[in-house]
Structure formats: structure tokens, C-alpha cells
Amino acid sequence: MVDLSKITCIEDFRALARRRVPRMFYDYVDAGSWSQATYLANERDFALMELRQRVCVNIAGRSTRTTMIGEAVAMPVAIAPTGIAGMQHADGEILGARAAKAFGVPFTLSTMSVCALEDIAAHTGRHPFWFQLYVMKDRGFVAELIERARAANVSALQLTLDLQLPGLRHKDIKNGLSTPPKPTLRNLLNLALRPRWCLGMARTRRHGFGNIMGHVTGVTDMSSLASWTADQFDPTLSWADVEWIKGRWGGKLILKGIMDPEDARLAVATGVDALVVSNHGGRQLDGTCSSIRALPAIVNAVGAHMEVWMDGGVRSGQDVLKARALGARGVQIGRAFNYALGACGEAGVRRALEIIQNDLSVSMALCGRTAIDDVDGSILLPSR
């Protein structure tokens, strides 16, 4: 048993997840595309930013509470949509949604999740969650997903724009990533060293892509699912598709994958509710800048027209604070969530959220602020 009180940072969860999660699924989270330059820059550029310490300020009664697209949150953090989180830990997306609900932050389910929309709805009740949508060539399937999201009490749809084709993810190719793992000698030997993970998976029926299996004509097994999925990401995705989805959905819509001010201005023209500055965790275009470096120009371009969030490299409450200082209304955490999930399941996710919130509260106070909504660029030292 792990004493979670001794886990003090996300890096502790990462080290534990590396020992507990099968290699192909751990590497799926803990890697970027090609040279991994952008993946590494996401964290590095946060570390290069310096905070302005203040003293003799009354810091009693601190609060990290705020809103994201009008929904009350315990802190400006949402769990990001990440594919196959249910392979980090059995029933992983359900556990993540339960932890998020208990803590008071949004959970976002990926189209490429192991647990289905209906699985999450059964555990969240009337508590809303968000759903991330990929635009597939099969628009009938996309329309069905939107209706299933509505029936599942999803309160916001998050449309990912930067995966018209997969990035150059070398580790996934070398590991032969598949869901569930193929019974090769290498995989079987690796699984034998993870008995805790194997026992959890033996106890659940959820081993494939729950939002797809049983909902697509001709997809009856994992082989046909893999072929269908590989062919479905749509290279013709355009702003017209965003308009179509917005009209079909009719509710709150968030655009994820914006890295350029011109794209941000085009996003404003669609009338969506928020955008996410994101390079897909460094898993798509390697060599582009970090999300935190792209953030200020996009905030300036968008102005007061819509909320701007960001993801990529967020590992601590200080990172959340720095993103807020640069104009982000909120952040999303993907790897931090997956490390905690893979290491310790639902309890791990709750502890990760506690760590981030405590770090945010303490760092905010030492910068002389008592409310997250009072944080602005003045808490940062000028860059050297």
C-alpha cells in the first residue's frame, strides 16, 4: 500500500506509474512526437518563468474557487481528455470522473476512451461533465456521438482540431500500441511484472474503445475496430465543420488545439464559448512552441470575446498560477491525471488534485494574492 500523504508532487506519481503501468501504456502518456522537443518545452518554459514574491500582506481567507464557462470550479483546473485512460488503470475514466466530481473540477471524456459516455453518466448522475469530440469521416457516427453526449448530461462539448492525422509518435510504433495489448512474448513478459494492473483488468469488461464498439456498422472485434479508426480521422476538417457541429450540438462548445493568433480570431468568428491553447501535449507537431509561450499572443488576439484556457506541461499549482497570470481562465491536466491514475487509481487522482490546489493556494499567497480571480501579470518578474 502506498501512503498517499507521502506523495507530495506529480513527479512522485509519475515514478510510481512507471513501475505499475505496462510499458506501452505508460509510454503512450510519457512521450511526445518525433524528437519530443515540444513535449519537453511545455514543462521547461513554465520552469523558466519567475514569480514575484511579496511580504506583509494579509493572506488569510484564501480561495482558489472560480468559474470556467460559467460552471463553478474548486480551482481553475479541468481534467483533460486523454485517450485510453482506461488502460492506465482498470475503469480509469470512471475513476477519474468520480474523483473530479468529489473534488469539484470538470472531467473531460475523450472520444477514444475505454469507458463509454454512458459509463461516466452512470457514475456522475446530474453532475455535468464534458466530452471531447474528434471529427470522423463518418458524420453519421459524429452526429450519434453528439446525441449520446446530450443524453449523458454532458454540459459542454470540446472539439479537438489538431488531429486530422496522427503525429509521428515513435514510441507508440515501437511498442506496438494496441487496446488491449497483443499477446506477444514481449508484452506478456512486461505484463507479468505488473500483477496489480493485470488483476484490475481481469475484473472489468472494459478493454476496448467504449464509445465506438457496438456503435459502428461492421466493427465487431478489435481488428475491425483498429482498421476503422485508422481510416476515420478526417484530413478535410474545416471551419465549416465547426459550424455544423455547433448547430447540431446547440450547447456550450470549446475548441481545442489553437496555437496561432489568426486561428484564435477565426475561432471567435464561430461564436464558440472557449478555446484551448494546446499543442496536444507535444504529441502532434514536434518543433512548435510550448503552449505557455503561445498563450499571451492568443489572449491578446481574442481579448474579451471568449474564455482562453491552455494545456501542456501543467504539473503543479505554480504552473496553474503562471497560466492565470498570462491570461488563461483555466488549465487542463492530462499527464498529471494519467500518472496519478496509473499509480493509485481514484485515490491517486484525488490526491493529485489536492497537491495542485495546495500548491496553487500557497504560491498565490506568497505572491500577495488571496483570490485566484485577482491574479494578473503583475505577479510575474520580467523575463531576463
Could you give the residue numbers annotated as active site? 280
Q: What is the DSSP string of 120-186?
A: HHHHHTTS-EEEEE--BS-HHHHHHHHHHHHHTTEEEEEEE-S-SS----HHHHHHT--SS----HH
Q: List residues bridging with 258 in a β-sheet.
A: 277
CB crowding 31-68: b at 16 or more within 10 Å, else e: bbbbebbbbebbbebbeebebeeeeeeebeeeebebeb
**Backbone angle region of 69, left / alpha / beta, with phi > 0 → left and psi within -120 to 50 → alpha:** left
Longest dimension (CA), the chain: 67
Beta pairing partners, 310: 277, 331
- Retrieve residue 36's grid coordinates: 519530443
Cβ neighbours of residue 108 closer than 8 Å, sequence gap 6 or more: 78, 79, 80, 81, 129, 130, 131, 132, 158, 332
Does residue 158 contact residue 131 with C-beta atoms inside 8 Å?
Answer: yes
3-state DSSP call for residue 253? strand
Amino acid at 283: R
Concatenate the DSSP letters of all residues of 46-64 into one string. HHH--B----S----S-B-
26: Cβ contacts below 8 Å, ≥ 6 apart: 17, 18, 88, 342
Strands 71-73 and 66-68: antiparallel
